[in-house]
Structure 1
Amino acid sequence: MQSKHHQFSNEDTRQKPSRQFYIPSQIVSEFVYKGRDHLSKSFSSQFVLAFTAGAFMTYGAAFSILLVLGIEAKGIYYLLSGLGFASAYAMVFISGSVLFTEVNVLLPTYMVNAKKVYVKNILTFWCSAYIGNMIGAIFVALLIKMSGSLSPSFYQELSMYIDHKMKFMNNGLQGTFQIIVSGILANWLIGMAAFLTTAARDITGKILGTTLPVILFVAGNFQHSAANMGYFSLGIVSDSTYAWYEMLFFNLIPASIGNIMGGAILVSLLFSYAYKTDIQKALRN
């Protein structure tokens, strides 16, 4: 008869099921590959994928508002609003569309870990992502407005959303600083949404990984430039009390600066440094 110790030893050698997620160093390595793959695409392909990502942002903005109409309880309000917007990020991440705030993570990771970097190509891609996102967001907003599908109560709620995002405008330089800091927080969270989504190896895991950080940034009113493009585009076509240039200069631009800092420093650089040895081994294989 085998001893208990021997039995346990045999059990320990049994093949265990494979993991259903990537470990952190593998995730960062995937960021490098994704950044490289995006840069290898033609400009027209980059722009089309940025356009679709911007379009999804407006759909997400609309859905986040539709889900909270008539909701008074703040906790449920924030939860439903975040779930609505998470639908946009799920479409972006799973379709491979190019979102400016995801680029803020992918490209710095690629730049830090790649042996050869072409700065001109990177800047061109970054700009195409931003402009493509904005055009896509405005395009869908126009279609929604022309469709006449949404009720007056939707636009009343939209006005409250935009007021909440533009509240920094009257604070002068302090307001600009607050938007930049808020943008840092927003892209840190969206960077982690990309992190968790990349970690997952099935669709359910990717959607769940996307949803949790999105709910948090929506509830916290952290300024995410690509998301705000969705709300502001709907506002521009529906007689918002704010002019387009006020939304651009008093929110989108400072938020974008913060987004770049949050994604590049607090996600890309920190994890690239923490897992530097493992990443270099993975990239050599």
Structure 2
Amino acid sequence: MTVGNGTGISNGANGDGDDFRSHESGIKVELGGIEAEAQDIQNARIYHDHHFEHGIRVTADEATGPSRKATGMLGMRASANIDANAGVKSIGAVSLGTPMPKWPAGHQSAAFEAVAVKKSFILSPAEIYAECAHHGEEKSKFPWYKIWTLTIIAGCYVGFGYSTCLLIGGNLKQAPGVGNETDYNYGLFKLVYGAVGFPFGFTTIVVCGAELYTSLCAYMTAAWWEGKVGILDVLRMLAISWTGNFIGCALMAGLLKAGEVFDHKDTTLLRQVHDKLSHGWGAVLVKGIFANWLVGIATWMANAAQDLTGKAVGIWLPISAFAMIGFEHCIANMFLFVVAWCQGDYITAKQFIWHNLIPSTLGNYIGGGICLATVYAIAFGSPPRKLGNWIDKKLKRN
């Protein structure tokens, strides 16, 4: 097997073991005792130490000696004989073989397995669940400044997406209240309204890196079902993300007001606010469930896809559906109501908090945490196995 430093790997194994040859440096590493079929792997990359917990790699310090220990791919260990005189002056942090991202000990990355071993750019349903449960655990370990930064910026991204909906689709003459009654076309208005704005905002959150309360409902619940986090970790992450998202939404609303972005273009904005307040508490709760069920599906599909195009398409389908239908997303509502206040609309705190924010927040958790994460925990996770083992023990005792 030949190793490229950041460009690719080709298979050249012989019967005596795996033979790794670097295209550029000629480093030859003999790995013995690894009982694994040689694979054609094409995605070797350069990583730094903080990206790893295990995986074959060599650093500049490790390259100075004639013999070093290397951790094999997929957790296997082997002895690596490195010829330091083969023309390598400084390698930095370079992988020998395809590296594995940082995972807990004994954990296999579903994304790594799919891309490096199966040559697939999409995970299976069971792999998606495992990946999301792992992400929930990793996110729970974020330091406080990282959580706050990523949740606040997520609120800003929601503001960008919602503003796109309101200012583009919301100003069509087919939108309610904008043009003449003869021009009114609810279907066309909703199609344009939901086609770009919200998918753009959520794609930015996923790809650029930000933390949204509604996504964490799914991540943290999956991690809890797998015993990776405790209930206090779940509550802490949801509380921090909710408040951080609010700060980001309020910050974005204030900046948009300072820029006079919605001045004379707020007809659809104000109509939507009062429409949301016209529904009962239970109706908002149910629409909140539907909203984060779809947003959770987008989260799931974004984790399934391992390239930018796949993530964008996987996000666009459910997010555009949620926006077009008009379900209740608590973070989006934070932005909408604060912008309405900035535009001078009179809405009481009780109307906003009790009649919309509380039921939509609870509904969003049910949609992401129960309808999505818990369903797939039952289908693919450890709870059914644990329950089955417990029942078997009880039956054997009787």
Shorter-chain TM-score bucket reads 0.7 to 0.9
Q: Give ranges in structure 1 of 5+ residues lacking alignment.
A: 1-14, 169-174, 281-285
Aligned position for 1:57: 158
Pairing 1:221–2:332 present: no
Tell me the SS of whatever aligns to 2:158.
helix
239-248 or 204-213: bigger deviation: 239-248
Partner of 1:149: 261
| One-letter code aligned to 1:29 | A
- Is 1:27–2:128 an aligned residue pair? yes
Map of 1:127 onto structure 2? 239
**Other-structure match for 2:140:** 39
* Post-superposition offset of 1:261: 0.9
2:210 aligns with: 97
Of the three residues 222, 228, 231, the one matched with 1:109 is 222
Q: Hey, what does 1:190 align to over in structure 2?
A: 295
Displacement of 1:256: 0.5
**Which deviations, in whole Å up to 9, do the C-alpha atoms of 1:48-67 show, x marking residues without a partner?**
11101111111111100112
Q: Which residue in 1 is equivalent to 2:20?
A: none
297, 311, 316: which one pairs with 1:206? 311
Judge conservation of contact 2:129–2:381 (CA < 8 Å) in 1: no
> In structure 1, what is the Cα distance between the partners aligned to 2:309 and 2:277?
35
1:167: how far off? Answer: 1.8
- Larger RCO (CA within 8 A; separation ≥ 6): 1
**CA–CA separation in structure 2 for the residues paired with 1:151 and 1:29:** 47
Which residue identity lines up with residue 199 of structure 1 in the other structure? A
Post-superposition offset of 1:118: 3.1
Give, in whole Å, the separation in 1 of the partners of 2:277 and 2:261.
Answer: 26
- Larger CA Rg, structure 1 vs 2: 2
The structure that is strand-richer by fraction is 2
Cα deviation for residue 17 of structure 1 reads 8.0
SS in 2 for 1:21: coil
Cα distance in 1 for residues equivalent to 2:233 and 2:159:
28
Aligned equivalent of 1:140: 252
Aligned 1:2-17 pairs, distance under 5 A: none
Offset at 1:248?
A: 1.6
- How do 1:191-270 residues align onto structure 2 when only pairs under 5 Å count? 191-270=296-375
Corresponding residue for 2:274?
163
Which amino acid in structure 2 is aligned with residue 65 of structure 1? L
User: What is the deviation of 1:45?
Assistant: 0.9
Residues 150 and 181 (structure 1), Cα distance of their counterparts in 2 relative to 1, 3 Å cut: closer
List alignment gaps of at least 5 residues for structure 2.
1-39, 41-116, 175-184, 386-398
CA deviations on 1:220-249 (whole Å, 9 max, x unpaired) are 221111121221221121112323441121
* CA-based RMSD: 2.1
State the match for 1:5 in structure 2: none
Q: Describe the SS at the equivalent of 1:241.
A: coil
Q: Give the TM-score, by structure 1 length.
A: 0.85
Distance 2:348 2:307 in 1: 43
Task: Check 1:71–1:86 CA distance in 2 against 1; reply closer, same or farther (3 A cut).
Answer: farther
CA contact (8 A) 1:57 1:229 kept: no
Change (3 A) 1:198 1:17: closer
User: How far has the Cα of 1:271 moved from its partner?
Assistant: 0.8
Work out the CA distance in 2 between the residues paired with 1:80 and 1:29. Answer: 35
Q: Could you tell which deviates more after superposition, 187-196 or 235-244?
A: 235-244
